[in-house]
Amino acid sequence: MACFSVSDALAKQLTSHLPALEITWFRCLGLLISVMPLWRRERGALKSHRLALQIGRAAGLIGSAVLFILALGRLPIADATAMVFASPLFVTVLSALLLRERVAALRWAVVVTGFAGVLIVMRPGSSTYQSAALLPLGSSIAWALALICTRKVSQTDSVASTMTHSALIGCALLSLLVVPVFVRPTWPEAALLAAMTLAWCSAQWLTVAAYHRAEASTLAPFAYSQLLFSTFLGAVVFGQWPDAIAFFGIALILCCGAVALWESTRRIDAQAAEEEAVR
């Protein structure tokens, strides 16, 4: 999560010089280079049983990244990051509608309260509201769609296949879009792009490694630590401290993350107890 925040801080610095599409393209290119060694070790990395879902996942990731980088250019990094955490609400809604998953009342209450925290940060209707606040909200919707595709495709495709297809399809789509707006970076900008891409790819692979070593419910709440890292970097690097209202909204989102962890752990323990009783 710290690597994600560092990458976002570097991207924010670049948004005043380079288009968001170009910044996203460099990230995707770096990810593509990092997955190439998999093609020798994993024979199935270049194959997919659900290519349409892989394309949908890649499109969702691209849309989420581009919208968020656009938001970073217009909003404080802490506020933009906080608003992206509306994604659990959209994931929950889409899981119920598209995947027919049963969602407990407590989980609905948690995600709705978390979304209230996002609205507190956004403050729609107030004098401090900016239409740019819709960008991270759109990013969270695109991210939620990508996660739904990930859940579906994980039933047939390996992690190596999903990572490979996301990188390949993402680079192919972005290469078509970036040509008309491409700006040749200066050497200092190229150095920032390289550092940003390295931090982002490191975050991607560390996340994959973590999910191979621990349960999703144990790891998921750590995503909320990104809010803390982004707030710190926003203050130190850009001198952008959230005001009291924004701090309250961020705190509410973090509390919802803690409750979500407790609820998931309780549910998993109950399932384990039931399975043990059956044995």
SS3 1: coil
Confidence bin at 159 (pLDDT 50/70/90): confident
Confidence bin at 169 (pLDDT 50/70/90): very high
Dihedral sign (CA 116, 118, 123, 124): negative
- The confidence score (pLDDT) of residue 214 equals 67
Confidence bin at 198 (pLDDT 50/70/90): very high
- The answer on pLDDT for 215 being more than 70 is no
Q: Which of 123, 119, 61 is nearest to 256 (CA)?
A: 119
- The confidence score (pLDDT) of residue 190 equals 96
- The confidence score (pLDDT) of residue 13 equals 94
- The confidence score (pLDDT) of residue 59 equals 92
Q: Is the overall model pTM greater than 0.85, yes or no?
A: no
Listed in sequence order, the residues at least 6 apart from 114 whose beta carbon sits closer than 8 Å to its beta carbon are 85, 86, 88, 89, 252, 253, 256, 257
Which DSSP string corresponds to 105-137? HHHHHHHHHHHHHHHHHH-TTSTT--GGGHHHH
Give the tens place of pLDDT for each residue, 177-195.
999 999 999 999 999 999 9
- The answer on pLDDT for 114 being more than 60 is yes
Give the tens place of pLDDT for each residue, 225-254.
888 899 899 999 898 888 888 888 888 888
Which DSSP string corresponds to 162-211? HHHHHHHHHHHHHHHHHGGG--PPPHHHHHHHHHHHHHHHHHHHHHHHHH
- The confidence score (pLDDT) of residue 64 equals 92
- The confidence score (pLDDT) of residue 96 equals 77
Question: What value does the mean pLDDT of the chain take?
Answer: 84
- The confidence score (pLDDT) of residue 45 equals 78
Give the tens place of pLDDT for each residue, 15-59.
999 999 999 999 999 999 988 887 877 777 788 888 999 999 999
- The confidence score (pLDDT) of residue 222 equals 76
* Cβ atoms of residues 193 and 26 within 8 Å: yes
Question: What number is the average pLDDT over the span 205-216?
Answer: 73
Structure tokens at 199: 């931090």
- The confidence score (pLDDT) of residue 274 equals 66
* Cβ atoms of residues 74 and 133 within 8 Å: no
